[in-house]
Structure 1
Amino acid sequence: MKQHIEHAESGQFSHSTYLGNIIQNELITSISRKILDTVVTEIKQSKYHSVILDCTPDVSHQEQISVIIRTVKMDKAPEINEHFMGFLVAPERTGLGLSPLILKKLMELNIPFDDCREQSYDNGANMRGRNKGVQARLLEKNPHALYVPCGAHSLNLVVSDAATASTDATSYFGNVQKLYSLFSASPQRWAILRDHVTVALKTWSDTRWESHINSIEAVRYQASNIREALLKIREVMDPLTKVEAQSLAEEVGSYRFLICTVIWYDILHHVNHVSKLLQFPKMQFDVALDLTKAKTSLINYRTGFALAQASTKGMYEEINVEAVLNEKRLRSTKNHFAYEAPHKPIVDAMKRLEATFFNVVVDTAIQSLTDRFETLGEVRDRFGV
């Protein structure tokens, strides 16, 4: 092939060079088929295999499933191999819609699903559901295809569950994203930000919650500098940008935003540390399961609202704001009967933030952690030594 290209480039051919796009695509397709045939042959030689799946939307907003087959190659020493077998376009994300796609793909590759001994993917309800999830439907086809959830995905989903459990949490992350969007919208604004901070703001991935800690870290330790950068933008930009910068400066300078930053940074910092350890290539299963006992530290943190308040002290003193939450007017509820509205609303704003944000977020994370890692405990009970 190299000699052929050299001859074609030197003009030695008076006839067609067969280097057009159609021929090139045929060559790529032929090589792809040959590689795939070789991989399938290796999978069959190993006989038993596991299936690893993950769903993500692409740039064209289509849901795609990546299919990976894991095998143990018995050579001089056992060797674990993972083979990427391609993408599947998923018209729907339900267990009923995904299961036939996976079985059809394996059938096309001539890989018998009866030899599957494990299925592994994230802890989404459509995948891990005990009755209608993908793992349950595949277990009906092959009872030996044990479901093992992905530990790293599980921790990300734990944080995702916690973040959607409270309106204060959702609002907080929305404001952090607005900060990045405002500064990154133009080089001039970004230059103003870099003049005031040492660690720049970062955006995050919607599918990887561990990326959120990088974006919060800049706010956690540079809230005062970010606020000064917003005030600078307010002085030099157009009227519309000035209004947005003023609004965000007031938000960053509020005690509510500062204490939410401290709480989220503490939670994400611990979860991210465990997530990184779980992704270590030589991590052992028993050790990984012990690491997922992050529930203990979260339970201890459940009583840490006062500690979070103390950690916020340096931040609000630097910005020169009072450690006071603005009271919000509560709608009164008229009691017509004795059984209506038995609970009185929490009037104190700090107590309300603790009850509706801090307690809700931590409790949701603890419960989610318990539910999602229950299956890993079952696997350890079966195979642990």
Structure 2
Amino acid sequence: MKGRNKGVQARLLEKNPRALYVPCGAHSLNLMISDAATASIDATSYFGTVQKLYNLFSASPQRWAILKDYVTVALKTWSDTRWESRINSIEAVRYQASNIREALLKVRKVSDPLTKVEAQSLAEEVGSYRFIICTVIWYDILHIVNHVSKLLQSPKMQLDVAVDLLTKAKTSLTNYRIGFTSAQVSAKDMCEKMNVEAVLKEKRLRSTKRHFAYGAADEPIADAMKRLEIIFFNVVVDTTIQSLTDRLKTLSEVRDQFGVLVNFQKLDDQSLNNQCDKLCKTLTSGNESDIDGKELAMEVKHLPSLPSDEMTALELLTFIHKKHFEELYPNLWVALRIACTLPVTVASAERSFSKLKLIKTYLRSSMGQERLSGLAIISINHEVGKDVMYEDIIDDFASKKARKQRF
């Protein structure tokens, strides 16, 4: 949470000026996709169409049964705060567009007049070349981001590794900036599977003259594909890259402050001393400092041979712990512990709150604090709970509650 002026960040810095602000990586990716989804009217309209598909089938058990007969992966809705659900929704459309269109045509035959009109409209939209190419583009973008998000939510994720993952995601999105042609090829293949004449559709789009409904100019663009590339593809991809760059900046700055702990083998003496002093200033408040910069530089220079030249902060910390070098390298030990405990995401903490909401529902409003805490601990540590022998616990509980005493 930012709160630079009067929020959480400001209050924490009042208590401890050495605290470092690290934005949640998973939330940054979520906001990045949200920015891209609202940057273009075509992008917003696309997600509205996908939501209409889900609403049409989920509103009736009969329609949902028809959908299940045609598809293997059902349509899904999404949450505004959990963007990962978007890729689950689009994945069903990406690989089952022809089946969804057939299900819509089947619904059109067996439904009331109002539903028939809606099903017919959605069938035409799903079969359109424009909708298919938007599906391909969104799926490719979300597929890149989804992989990074899952890795960032790992409990053992480290800040330096997280920055590298986000940098690679930015590189992949930058390379995809010229991927509109490949998206067209994939869209044509999907149209052919739906028995739709893709070339005819494209010619029809090219011959349609449309005007900008928004923007600075009202210039007609004859080539509808060029228009789609300019106002949809370029806008969405550029917004995603720019948003990721802005949100990656803070993480990179914090990573660079602790960079000497992982790249000291590549630095000369002068650069090593400068970066150690910089880290010392970061961890200093008034007359109190967690480490001594000069001593840290000396400790790093006299480290024994390491197992690898490319080690993360956690691997180096583990190495020092196994060799019992804590007292020999106290400044390095403290700096590594701080670096390894810098949070990358708040996913683990939020999972605990989500689980708490599932445990204490409105039907369990009278649950006491002790029972709630016990159930929460069991749920959070479910892997340990699976190994518990419930028969022994039941027998122990029964023996304590039994009125008859055994002599």
- The letter of the residue matching 1:302 is R
Shift of 1:263: 0.2
Contact persistence 2:210–2:220 (CA under 8 A):
no
1:252 pairs, out of 104, 121, 126, with 126
CA distance in 2, matches of 1:304, 1:331: 23
Worse-matched range after superposition: 135-144 or 344-353: 135-144
Shift of 1:368: 0.2
1:263 pairs, out of 137, 162, 172, with 137
Quickly say closer, same or farther: Cα 1:290–1:187, change in 2 above 3 A: same
Shift of 1:138: 4.9
1:149 paired residue number: 23
1:380 pairs, out of 246, 255, 259, with 255
2:110 paired residue number: 236
Q: Does 1:313 align with 2:188?
A: yes
1:282 paired residue number: 156
Contact persistence 2:54–2:75 (CA under 8 A):
yes
1:135 paired residue number: 9
Shift of 1:141: 6.2
- The letter of the residue matching 2:211 is L
Quickly say closer, same or farther: Cα 1:133–1:349, change in 2 above 3 A: farther
Fraction of identical pairs, as percent: 79
Shift of 1:261: 0.2
Shift of 1:331: 7.0
- The letter of the residue matching 2:193 is E
- The letter of the residue matching 1:164 is T
CA distance in 1, matches of 2:81, 2:151: 19
Shift of 1:169: 0.3
Quickly say closer, same or farther: Cα 1:277–1:331, change in 2 above 3 A: closer
Two-structure CA RMSD over aligned residues (Å): 2.2
1:64 paired residue number: none
Quickly say closer, same or farther: Cα 1:381–1:141, change in 2 above 3 A: same
Higher RCO structure (Cα 8 Å, ≥6 apart): 2
Higher helix share: 2
Equivalent pairs counted in the alignment come to 252
Q: Does 1:224 align with 2:98?
A: yes
Quickly say closer, same or farther: Cα 1:133–1:250, change in 2 above 3 A: farther
CA distance in 2, matches of 1:260, 1:163: 12
CA distance in 2, matches of 1:359, 1:131: 35
Secondary structure of the structure 1 residue equivalent to 2:74: coil
Matches within 5 A, 1:9-48: none
Quickly say closer, same or farther: Cα 1:193–1:370, change in 2 above 3 A: same
Q: Deviations over 1:283-307 (max 9, x none)?
A: 2221111001111111100011001
Quickly say closer, same or farther: Cα 1:281–1:141, change in 2 above 3 A: closer
Shift of 1:277: 0.4
Normalised by the length of structure 1, the TM-score is: 0.62
Quickly say closer, same or farther: Cα 1:251–1:342, change in 2 above 3 A: closer
Contact persistence 2:210–2:221 (CA under 8 A):
no
Higher strand share: 1
Matches within 5 A, 1:1-385: 121=1, 127=2, 134-136=8-10, 138-139=12-13, 142-293=16-167, 294-321=169-196, 322=198, 323-324=201-202, 326=205, 327-330=208-211, 344-384=219-259, 385=261
Shift of 1:135: 3.0
Quickly say closer, same or farther: Cα 1:238–1:164, change in 2 above 3 A: same
CA distance in 2, matches of 1:132, 1:260: 42
Quickly say closer, same or farther: Cα 1:331–1:153, change in 2 above 3 A: closer
